[in-house]
Amino acid sequence: MEFLVRHTQVLRPSPGSLNPYHVGMKVWENIEKRWNNPTAEDIEEYGLRKKSAGEKLFEVREVERDVSFLRRYLTEELIRELNLFEYKNRGNDQIVSRVADEENWRDIKETLLQNVGTATIPVIKVEDSDYGNNRTLLLRHYHDGRDLQLDYAERTLKYVNQLWGRDVALDTVLDGRQTQLVFADGKFALKKAA
């Protein structure tokens, strides 16, 4: 009985938020349903079934990772069934900006994919180890439309500074403007990018 209670607590939908375990379970159930009773579109996309639904599920589990699993198997119908939507912050309010209609379901799916697994980790690369000819380490954030969270950026640059032993600078975009975050002399600062 305790297992059933815990299982239900983990998989239940969360009103007002997204439960990734619930979404994943719905995708698994949908794969099994589509594999057992394929539509003409399923046969066109995946071909004739040579495996049982159970074999397909084990194959998916073995081959796919979070992002590829959702990219490949989260369908338009499931996005609508799960009532997925996209919102934006406006002041202290959150405003629905996209609903899962014919025009927006792909955008909602892409937003979800950007926030799953390693896609949530910003891409930052070393640009120069002698920036300004004073051995400052220059890093570059490859901005994908999502600004860095400054509190995390500050702590990260502090740790990189400790490892590097010298000043560290990070070029990024904040609020649509080229910005350089700097950790030097034990202090964090924002500057207009050079």
| Domain count within the chain | 2
Same domain flag for 109 and 133: no
Which of 90, 118, 146 terminates a domain? The answer is 118
Q: Which of 118, 142, 171 is the last residue of a domain?
A: 118
In terms of domains, do 37 and 95 share one? yes
Both 18 and 108 in one domain: the answer is yes
Helix 105-114 and helix 66-73: axis angle, to 10°?
170
**Residues 80 and 149 occupy one common structural domain:** no
| Beta-sheet strands, E only, within the chain | 85-90, 93-99, 124-131, 136-141, 168-174, 177-184, 187-192
pLDDT at 163 over 70: yes
In terms of domains, do 86 and 162 share one? no
Q: Containing domain of residue 82, as a range?
A: 2-118
pLDDT confidence band for 19 (50 / 70 / 90): confident
Amino acid sitting at position 143: H
pLDDT tens digits, one per residue of 105-134: 999 999 888 888 777 889 999 999 999 999
The pTM of the whole model exceeds 0.75: no
